[in-house]
């Protein structure tokens, strides 16, 4: 075989291997890796310059996530007040970080947010219903002299429009407040106590991401036993074990670097953190998969190449965040 023939054969084998990996993982891996590197660089840069920049980075990504959810729920004819959610999310997360009493600020912000989105979603319903009624009356009046007038009088607001979904719109809006704002508050809260903000960011953000990577690799190369085939066919028991082991290894490194004096007495904390992140993160992925399956979509969005949308990337991080708040505060780390 000539040199050119060997090169073509090597390229064909490499392309075939990459296609096989992409099929097993369900992602475009080169794009996913590049996107991950960019995100990691952005987070590290914020931490090296000033911790407040990380807070505003979280806010920025949460605003993008709210936009994705707004579009996703609109696809199934559910309305959420996006601008109200943006204002409430930004105000609550900034107040949480800068207020003297962080928990009180977060609690007040969340309560105000729930009330605000309830009013906004209900107002949209009222205005939309009146508008739909006015349009229907005008259509009926214009067609009263024709045969179609009989049919037009039976016209009703289409399913999923403002005329029939007041309760659903309010319920979905409150769900978004609880899912995004409450859990995002738990991402920022660890930076406000015990004097180790950088270590806390690494654990809250990077351990779930590391767990996802471990689950992805273990599932791609060793996955044989399906974890939940109906919800997420690509999840496997081997992937779950890989998630736990990768998260545990990452937690051990962070603990050894940040708390070397506590290693002998609290070695169990990173072990517990690894198990917690592996299980809770996988559960978060499954919950997001169920939500997407109910809405009939594959990804929440397309902003992050190789990962889907912002919510596809942060679902496990969001769900793990409150567990980190409890673990770090209870152990004094």
Question: Given a cut of 60, is residue 128 above it in pLDDT?
Answer: no
> What pLDDT is stored for residue 88 in this prediction?
96
pLDDT in tens, 29-74: 667 677 778 888 999 999 999 999 999 999 999 999 999 899 888 8
The model carries a pTM of 0.79
Helix (H, G, I), strand (E, B) or coil at 227: strand
Of 102, 97, 90, give the one whose Cα is nearest residue 60: 90
Higher pLDDT, 63 or 160: 63
Listed in order, strand segments (DSSP E) in 39-105 are: none
pLDDT 10s digits, 239-293: 889 899 999 999 999 998 888 888 778 889 999 999 999 999 888 888 877 877 7
SS3 for 75? coil
Confidence of residue 313 (pLDDT cuts 50, 70, 90): confident
**Is residue 232 classed as helix, strand or coil in its secondary structure?**
strand
Give the pLDDT confidence score for residue 12 in this predicted structure: 63
pLDDT confidence tier of residue 327, bands split at 50, 70 and 90? very high
Cα–Cα distance, 120 to 210 (Å, whole number): 38
Any idea what the Cα angle at residue 177 is, between residues 167 and 42, rounded to 5°? 145
């Amino acid at each position: 075989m000539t040199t050119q023939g060997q090169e073509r054969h090597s390229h064909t084998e490499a392309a075939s291997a990459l296609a096989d990996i992409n099929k097993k993982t369900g992602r475009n891996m080169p794009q996913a890796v590049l996107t991950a590197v960019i995100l990691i660089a952005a987070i590290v840069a914020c931490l090296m310059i000033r911790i407040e920049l990380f807070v505003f980075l979280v806010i920025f990504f949460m605003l993008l996530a709210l936009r994705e959810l707004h579009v996703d729920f609109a696809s199934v004819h559910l309305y959420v007040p996006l601008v109200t959610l943006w204002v409430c999310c930004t105000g609550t997360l900034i107040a949480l970080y800068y207020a003297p009493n962080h928990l009180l600020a977060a609690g007040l912000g969340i309560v105000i947010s729930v009330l605000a989105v309830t009013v906004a979603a209900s107002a949209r319903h009222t205005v939309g219903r009146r508008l739909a009624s006015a349009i229907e009356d005008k259509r009926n009046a214009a067609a009263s002299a024709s045969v179609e007038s009989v049919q037009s009088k039976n016209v009703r607001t289409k399913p999923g429009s403002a005329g029939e979904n007041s309760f659903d719109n309010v319920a979905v809006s409150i769900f978004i407040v609880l899912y995004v704002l409450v859990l995002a508050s738990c991402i920022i809260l660890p930076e406000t106590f015990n004097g180790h903000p950088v270590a806390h960011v690494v654990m809250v953000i990077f351990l779930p991401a590391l767990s996802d990577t471990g689950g992805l690799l273990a599932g791609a190369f060793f996955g044989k036993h399906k974890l939940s085939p109906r919800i997420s066919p690509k999840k496997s028991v081997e992937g779950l074990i890989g998630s736990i082991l990768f998260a545990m290894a990452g937690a051990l490194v962070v603990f050894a670097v940040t708390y070397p004096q506590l290693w002998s007495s609290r070695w169990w904390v990173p072990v517990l953190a690894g198990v917690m992140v592996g299980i809770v993160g996988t559960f978060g992925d499954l919950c997001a998969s169920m939500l997407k399956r109910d809405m009939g979509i594959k990804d929440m969005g397309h902003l992050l190449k190789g990962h889907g949308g912002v919510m596809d990337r942060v679902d496990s991080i969001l769900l793990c965040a409150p567990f980190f708040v409890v673990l770090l505060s209870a152990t004094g780390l």
